[in-house]
Each structure stands twice: as structure tokens, then as C-alpha cells.
Amino acid sequence: MTESVAQTTLSTHSSGLTGSVRVPGDKSISHRALMFGALAIGETRITGLLEGEDVLNTAKAMRALGASVEPKVAADGVVTWVVHGRGVGGLVEPDGVLDMGNSGTGARLLAGLLASHRMTAVMTGDASLRSRPMDRVVAPLGLMGARFESRAGNRLPLTVIGTGEPVPMVYESPVASAQVKSAVLLAGLQARGATTVVEPAATRDHTERMLRHFGAEVRSEPAADRPGAVAVTVVGQPELEGSDIVVPGDPSSAAFLVVAALVTTNSEVSLFNVGLNPHRTGLFETLKEMGADLTIQNEREEGGEPVGDLVVRSSKLKGVVVPASRAPSMIDEYPILAMAAACAEGETRMEGLGELRVKESDRLAAIADGLKACGVKVEIDGDTLGVSGCAGAVPGDAIAEVHLDHRIAMSFLVLGLASEQPIGIDDDDAIATSYPSFIADMTTLGANFKKIAASSRAPA
């Protein structure tokens, strides 16, 4: 490996992970709790909010739009975020630019809010977010009466010229995207009448669940004449009422600890209060098909969302075919699934991964390049990723380039725990966007992570 001047985080083989962790709050639900609280009348109290950079940027944006958003720390150390909203249609024009950092979810949902208010606002983000196209939300929001000015491809910085009277409509989304659906439904809150999004396959329904929790009328039903499609309708101009929200643990964050325990020998890990929304559990289903010793205990419902506790033990995994139909329920988990596949026996084929190319990075390419550098055979055929497993420890001895992507960074740190030689990442700063305590939590369980001066190593 060649010389470099950067600092690197290395992950080395572990003899076992043991213990228990309460994973941080669900990022998708945290974004929505802050936004819906800002649209409600009265006080919304949120416990379990993810305090990662992405969500904190959403909190700043809600303050800039006129809502009061403040954390309150109780004597026992429990943090409750208190939001005093302005009501549907009551947000005010911000004085400055709204910086959404690395969050595609935050930016696309915020576009729906801004589009339905008579104001002009500018959104931007970090280098990764500025490279991601916003066409998929700009197109339907434009049909509702908003106007946009941006760089080529509707990339950030994006100027939103909102309308105070969005046009209710039926929008047939060309992609199964919870972000698109949510942006249109949020704009539809201000419309006079019903707004419907028809999506080709059901996606995560956090928006629908939470809108009902705040008092909106939301309907979900099979779309007529389109097998598998779902029509989601919101009735406009409701009076949302401030509500208490308990944010469950993020299954996308739990995924890294789950796979770490599966691929590291002599491991048994318990994860408490993990969200089990049926539109988010595709990874757990897939891992069980691969032979994972993964059990769910104490299933219950909190704040309108199903939750439970996970117990995970080391397992010998086998390759499987993951159908494209499962992608909407696990789109963020493919990077860590690929790490499990690398340790499995046989080939794992993951189909329908085109959406990975427009995430925080081109995740499909980042996964493939990193695994190849670690000595794993990988093949990309269109939108299908094939990983030939090593039936145990991978060779390693490489540093993966993470492209400012938190999920790529955490995935390769997990893989290093089950490698013959260390695996490193060129940058761990991005991890703070979704799981600030990841390295601390993993170290508590027994992971071997360390910072080194990268004078002897360079990104693969």
C-alpha cells in the first residue's frame, strides 16, 4: 500500500462481541417529529430524538422558519426536545440559507414544507448532498404551484419560491421513494382538498403514522388497476395538535451492530428498543434467510410504531438471492448486508439496487470497490450486486474510501472485525451524521478500532 498523509481509522479482528446497547433514535422519525411539531398548534415533546448532525440541522431549520425548538434535560439526564409549532401554513420566511448538511431526507421533506408556504427560501448542504439530484421532488412540487431555481439537475443550492395555495392532485410517482411521497404529502397539508401519491410499491410509512398521531386524516389503500401499487391520501388544511413522540431506536443503525455480532466469532449482543416498522425490516428477514441467529423479544408499540429488543449471536451465514421487491424495505442496509455476504458461504445476489447510486455517495460503486480491495470477489451487473463470500474471515489489509458516506464508513469498520488483516477507512467524520456514538458503542462491546497516522497506508 502506498504512502499518504491522511489519518485513518483501523478495525482489526475481534475475538468476540458481548453486551447490550440502546441504539440511537430513528433518523427518519426524528426528522419528521421536528417538522410535524413545527406545523402543529401547541407543544410537542420528543424523547429519544437522534442528536446526530443531520437531525440537528433539521432542528436549526425549524427554528429559522419560526418554530421554537429546544432540548430540556431532566434531573435523571433524560433529554426531551420541546417544540412549539406555528400551525399548518404558519411557517415564516427564513433570514438566511437553510443548511441541511448531509441529509437527503431532511432536504427533500423540507422542500415539501417550503413549497407550500408563500415564501422564498434557499437550501444547501455539504459536498455530498449538493451532488445529489432533487428532480424527483422538484417535479411534483412544481405541479402543485411551487417554483425552483437551481444548478443543473436541480441540485443544491436550491431556491424554493413557495405558493400559499398548493394545488391538490393525484401524483403517480415513478419511483418507490418515501422521501418523494412525504414531500408531496407535506405540501398537501396546506392544499384545499385531498392530495394523493400513488407509489409503485409500498415504502416506509413513518409520515402517514405520525400525521395520524398529530390529528391529520390520512388514508392508505391499494391503487386501482396497478397491482402492488399503493395510493396514500392526505386531506388538506387539518389542525395538527402538538403531541408527545417517543422515537424508537433506528433499525438502520442497529443493522451495523447486528451484522457485527453475526460475523464476529463468540459474540452475543442485545439491542434494546429497536424500531420494527414492517417497511424497515427487510434486512432482518434477509439475514434470517442466510442463517442468522437473530431473535426478537418484548415486541410492543410506542408512539404508533412497533418496537422490540433484538438478541444476536455469531452465525455461519450462507449466500442467498435478495429480490428487487425487498429493496424499499432495506435500501439503506445494503452496504452492511454486503459485509455479511462477504463473510458468508457462497454467493449473495442483491437485485434492484439502482437507488444506491443516488444516495450520500454512489453506494453501489463504493461497496464494490471497497470489497474488492479487501480481497472479496464482487460483480456488478446493471442494478444487481453479486458478492462471493469467503465462508468466514475476509483477507482484509486495505483501506476503503468512504466518500463522505456514514453507512459506507460503518460497514467497513464492521467488516474489519471479521478479517484476517486490518481494514481501515479514510474518514470517520461522516459517521456523526447518523450514529455519533457508533465507535464508542462498538468499543464497549469489544470491537478493536484505533486511529493511526496514515503515513503507511492510503485509500484503496
Q: How many domains does the chain have?
A: 2
Are 286 and 340 contacting, i.e. CB atoms less than 8 angstroms apart? no
Do 199 and 113 reside in the same domain of the chain? yes
User: 253 lies in a domain?
Assistant: yes
Could you identify the residue written with the cell 427554528? 63
Do 155 and 213 reside in the same domain of the chain? yes
The model's confidence at residue 226, banded by pLDDT at 50, 70 and 90, is confident
Mean pLDDT to the nearest integer, 17-41: 96
pLDDT at 208 over 80: yes
Q: Say how far residue 381 (Cα) sits from the centre of its chain.
A: 25
Which of the following is catalytic: 126, 250, 332, 426?
A: 332
pLDDT tens, 301-324? 876 789 999 999 999 999 999 999
Clarify whether 397 is annotated catalytic: no
Closest CA to 335 of 291, 365, 358, 298: 365
The model's confidence at residue 128, banded by pLDDT at 50, 70 and 90, is confident
Taking the CA atoms of residue 206, residue 207, residue 212 and residue 218 in that order, the dihedral angle to the nearest 10 degrees is -120
pTM of the model: 0.86
Mean pLDDT to the nearest integer, 23-40: 96
Do 239 and 302 reside in the same domain of the chain? no
pLDDT tens, 370-392? 999 999 999 999 999 999 999 99
The CATH number that applies at residue 63 is 3.65.10.10
Task: Indicate the range of 153-167, 287-301, 355-369 predicted with least confidence.
Answer: 355-369
User: 2 lies in a domain?
Assistant: no
Q: What does the pLDDT read at residue 454?
A: 59
pLDDT at 448 over 90: yes
Q: What does the pLDDT read at residue 3?
A: 43
Q: How many CB atoms lie within 10 A of CB 375?
A: 17
The model's confidence at residue 4, banded by pLDDT at 50, 70 and 90, is very low
Burial per residue of 159-179, b for 16 or more beta-carbon CB atoms within 10 angstroms, e otherwise: ebebbeebebbebebebbbbb
- Mean residue pLDDT across the chain: 93
Q: Which domain holds residue 174?
A: 27-246
Q: CA-CA distance, 197 to 180, in Å (whole number)?
A: 9
Do 190 and 164 reside in the same domain of the chain? yes
pLDDT at 2 over 50: no
pLDDT tens, 46-98? 999 999 999 999 999 999 999 999 999 999 889 999 999 999 999 999 999 99
